Structure 1
Amino acid sequence: MIQVTDIKQYVYCPRVIYYTYVMPVNKKVTYKMEHGREQHRLEMIKEKRRGLKSYSLIEGKRYFDYQLKSEKLGLTGKLDLLIETDNSSQPAYPVEMKYTFKGIQANIKYQLGAYALLLEEKYNTSIDEGFIYIIPKKEIHTIPISQEMKEYAQKVISAIHNIIEKEHFPDPKSKRRCHDCEFRKFCNDLY
């Protein structure tokens, strides 16, 4: 089983998968990572007191840290927030909370797409919309989840399983991203 967060990591750089599963190394937890986790924790406490109006939903039941799993996809993850509704066209909405100042990047969208795949299997219906909450700006963004996003997420899931099973050392996504990467010191071929 791989984690949904692995999809976000793979899109950022496939080597993160290699250093997590094939050749596990001790990651350096940065201040930025710790601060982000703490802000996420605090925002989850606040979110439990809020209503659904900011999501443009009238009714629904909320589940925090909702665990999802698919044997078929070999994928598991803990969704920040699941909003379950009586809407027959879309009975559930995935919500991911992110502490970022860079806006909504592709890796975050594909992570949301992977959660949509897990929810589609659970509810046996299409999940075509979700939300990303940007913590520093306190903004909720409605994200359309297209079929292309879901197909790309499935390709990434397959690629991750391939790296793990074949112990393949992938090329880096972009050398520009290496500066802030916690695995930087292990990629000796980049200098």
Structure 2
Amino acid sequence: MDDPIMLSALQHYSYCPRQCALIHIEQAFDENVHTMRGNAVHERVDEPGLGSFEGVRTEYALPVWSEKLGLIGKCDVVEFYPDGRIYPVEYKHGKKRAKAHDDIQLAAQAICLEEMTGKAVMHGAIYHHSSRRRREVAITTSLRQQVEETVKAVRALLASGKLPPPVNDARCKECSLKEICQPEALTNKARQRKMHVELFELDQ
């Protein structure tokens, strides 16, 4: 059986395959203001623990896994309701806004919880710390399919051991690995090589 994939790798890959490869193949990581804010937000949910409020049991830093998909990781928060509902909550430092890569990570957590408990997990939430608001996410058939496709893509990436080319777009601005990745420099080199080839083609 293949080694399990970290849940975080799905979020990294769906944000940027090169970022995923740098972290999970090259073992590269760096801090920027976004990761430091994220770490500060996660301090309260990184320590395993239990809580209870109005009949809702809350578990923090809960280890989860899926043998079917070969996933392993942990949920920031999982709420267990008296009616049997299981509700994962992923903490993010930014303002409330939809991000597909966050939803894929949350859906993967839901799939793990379903396999572990035998109960359907139909909804979860992203808690956006900056706005102190939750954004509920429906764990739809389409989102589940995206999780499975992302797992396959990550597994293929890890098996290849290769770094995808840099994208050099709006995603790079917020990426903590920008200095390691060097997207501008590498894409400029690729553009120069292309221009060089085209120049000789024109001369012929």
TM-score computed with the length of structure 2 as normaliser: 0.77
The answer as to whether partners of 1:83 and 1:93 remain within 8 angstroms in 2 is: yes
The share of aligned pairs that are identical, in percent, is 23
Structure 1 residue ranges, 4+ long, deviating more than 3 angstroms after superposition: 42-45, 48-52, 171-174
CA–CA separation in structure 2 for the residues paired with 1:20 and 1:43: 22
**One-letter code of the match for 1:75?**
L
Among candidates 81, 93, 100, match of residue 87 of structure 2: 93
Query: Which residue does the alignment assign to 2:181?
Result: 186
Q: Taking CA–CA contacts closer than 8 Å with sequence separation of 6 or more, which of the two structures ends up with the larger relative contact order?
A: 1
Please, which runs of 5 or more residues in structure 1 have no aligned partner?
Answer: 53-58
3-state SS, counterpart of residue 34 of structure 1: helix
The answer as to whether partners of 1:95 and 1:133 remain within 8 angstroms in 2 is: yes
Query: Which residue does the alignment assign to 2:108?
Result: 114
CA–CA separation in structure 1 for the residues paired with 2:165 and 2:63: 32
**One-letter code of the match for 2:127?**
Y
* C-alpha displacement of 1:77: 1.3
- Please tell me whether residue 20 in structure 1 is matched to residue 23 in structure 2: yes
The answer as to whether partners of 1:85 and 1:92 remain within 8 angstroms in 2 is: yes
* C-alpha displacement of 1:131: 1.6
CA–CA separation in structure 1 for the residues paired with 2:51 and 2:120: 29
TM-score computed with the length of structure 1 as normaliser: 0.82
Structure having the higher Rg: 2
The answer as to whether partners of 2:65 and 2:113 remain within 8 angstroms in 1 is: no
Query: Which residue does the alignment assign to 1:76?
Result: 72
CA–CA separation in structure 1 for the residues paired with 2:126 and 2:150: 20
- Please tell me whether residue 67 in structure 1 is matched to residue 69 in structure 2: no
3-state SS, counterpart of residue 130 of structure 1: strand
The answer as to whether partners of 1:175 and 1:190 remain within 8 angstroms in 2 is: no
RMSD: 2.6
CA–CA separation in structure 2 for the residues paired with 1:102 and 1:92: 22
Among candidates 1, 9, 12, match of residue 9 of structure 1: 12
Identify if the C-alpha distance between structure 1 residues 113 and 173 changes in structure 2 by more than 3 Å, giving closer, same or farther. farther
* C-alpha displacement of 1:33: 1.4
* C-alpha displacement of 1:160: 0.4
* C-alpha displacement of 1:171: 4.4
The answer as to whether partners of 2:21 and 2:158 remain within 8 angstroms in 1 is: yes
Query: Which residue does the alignment assign to 1:36?
Result: 38
CA offsets, 1:62-106, max 9 Å, x none? 111111012332211110111123435xx3111111111362311
Size of the alignment, in residue pairs? 181
Query: Which residue does the alignment assign to 1:130?
Result: 124
The answer as to whether partners of 1:68 and 1:77 remain within 8 angstroms in 2 is: yes
**One-letter code of the match for 2:17?**
P
* C-alpha displacement of 1:168: 3.7
CA offsets, 1:10-61, max 9 Å, x none? 1110112211232333x2211331122113325889xx87846xxxxxx321
**One-letter code of the match for 2:36?**
E
